Amino acid sequence: TPHHKLNKEFLEKELYPHIKRVKKCDKKRILVTGGAGFVGSHLVDRLMLMGHEVIVIDNFFTGSKTNILHWIGHPNFTLMEHDIVTPILIQVDEIYHLACPASPPAYQFNPIKTIETNVIGTSNMLSLAKQVKARFLLTSTSEIYGDPLEHPQKETYWGNVNPIGPRACYDEGKRAAETLTYAYQTQEKVDVRVVRIFNTFGPRMDENDGRVVSNFIMQALQNQDMTIYGDGNQTRSFQFVHDLVDGLISTMRNEFTLPINLGNPVEFTILELAEELKGFIGSESKLVKLPAVQDDPKQRRPDISLAKEKLDWEPKFSRQQGLLETIQYFRQIVEADCEATRR
Ligand code: NAD
Ligand code: UDP
């Protein structure tokens, strides 16, 4: 199948009709670092379908070849196994810089490597952008706001981050990556863009990566306990990955260079998310409360007025539509696992 386990009907009806192929003269060579990951692989799909030439760099730490398998062998597609902590020189017009583990268990597995990826890796990619005169887009995160004291979060908020806590390798890593990006803009005249991504979910999230949407869906599908960390009253605002991809491409095309929040402003508690997913799936799982994790932000919701104003962007998909698509994806994984166990 062309899009590994994705829902063909959804792609053909909801997504593909909106994708415009570029004219030959507008075709670009585009590097996507972290392109074998969850968000990266959807971005690669979109850029390929638009008719661009796409080069993926990934070290497969949290990403997987399976996510982009359907493009291997296509004349416009190149996959390079490479770690961005080591410099590389390739001729490209644009760089979407996503490489960095994004789930807390993954980025806390080797905190030194996470910081190196964010600082040395980002510096290498900015240096590449300078050398080949490419436009550079950094995927930063709502985590740079830490456990926010301002709610909802606007781009002007400076954040509340514990610099030595378990999340610091990621939060401070991304903050430094933003600083580096604007240092290259000022000092080296690199053409930069920065987006701050809020919690995103969708098909191709790694089922074992420990993020809440994948955990809850996998648990509910298998009637296992659904694990709530803390009292479950902490809030998040989740966007469907296809909305994010729209926002990334719009930002790259836009002339605005300061950070832009990309997220869905509909906020709800983790407990509500668990109940909702349990209901959609018709699961018999119990909700169990486990100890809270350290430095877990208590609330998070993007203010997206800047994205609306500058990019004319806002999420198009409802949470329900996104969650149902994601459940369908994970259901296929669970069924394939059961099949493999039976054999
Ligand atoms: P992911 O873990 O699925 O993807 C990250 C990709 O980067 C993986 O394919 C991984 O193998 C690769 N990678 C990691 N370190 C690397 C290195 N040193 N060299 C080369 N490749 C490396 O995560 P994702 O959810 O797709 O996130 C993509 C980007 O978006 C990340 O930068 C993340 O910080 C950012 N982001 C994501 C979310 C979210 O909710 N998904 C929220 C905020 C920000
Ligand atoms: N969470 C939870 N159970 C899980 C996984 C996560 O209650 O099995 C909580 C987590 O403590 C946090 C929220 O869900 O409050 C979102 O967690 P995730 O790891 O998905 O993203 P992040 O913490 O980076 O926002």
Q: What is the dihedral of CA 96, 50, 201, 125, to 10 degrees?
A: -10
- Tell how strand 267-269 and strand 235-237 pair up: antiparallel
Tokens 């950070």 map to which residue?
Answer: 259
Ligand 2 neighbour 234 (Cβ under 6 A): yes
Ligand 2 within 6 A of CB of 157: no
What is the model's pLDDT at position 96? 99
CB 159 within 8 A of CB 172: no
**Ranges assigned E (strand) in the chain:** 29-33, 53-58, 77-81, 94-97, 135-141, 192-197, 200-201, 226-229, 235-237, 239-240, 260-262, 267-269, 287-290
Helix (H, G, I), strand (E, B) or coil at 79: strand
Angle at 148 between CA 145 and CA 152, to 5 degrees: 95
**Mean pLDDT, each 10-residue run in order, the chain (343 residues):** 77 92 96 98 97 98 95 97 98 98 94 98 98 98 96 97 96 98 98 98 93 97 97 97 98 98 97 98 98 94 98 96 96 85 75
Its ipTM equals 0.98
Ligand nearest to the CA of 32: 1
Q: Which residues line ligand 1 (CB under 6 A)?
A: 34, 36-40, 57-63, 83-85, 98-102, 106, 117, 121, 139, 141, 197, 199-200
> What is the distance in A from the centroid of ligand 1 to the CA of 102?
5
Count Cβ atoms below 10 Å from residue 151 Cβ, excluding itself: 15
Contacts 24+ apart (CB under 8 A), 17-26: 19/46, 19/49, 19/50, 20/50, 21/49, 21/50, 21/51, 22/50, 22/51, 22/52
pTM value is 0.97
Among residues 96, 107, 170, 184, which one is catalytic? 170
Q: Can you tell me the distance from the alpha carbon of 290 to that of 225, in angstroms, rounded to the nearest whole number?
A: 11
Measured CA to CA, the distance from residue 89 to residue 100 in angstroms comes to 19
d(CA 59, CA 57): 7
Are residues 98 and 75 in contact, defined by beta-carbon separation less than 8 angstroms?
A: no
Report pLDDT for 343: 72
The reply to whether 170 belongs to the active site is: yes
Instruction: Give the span between the Cα atoms of 216 and 211, in whole angstroms.
Output: 9
pLDDT of residue 325: 97
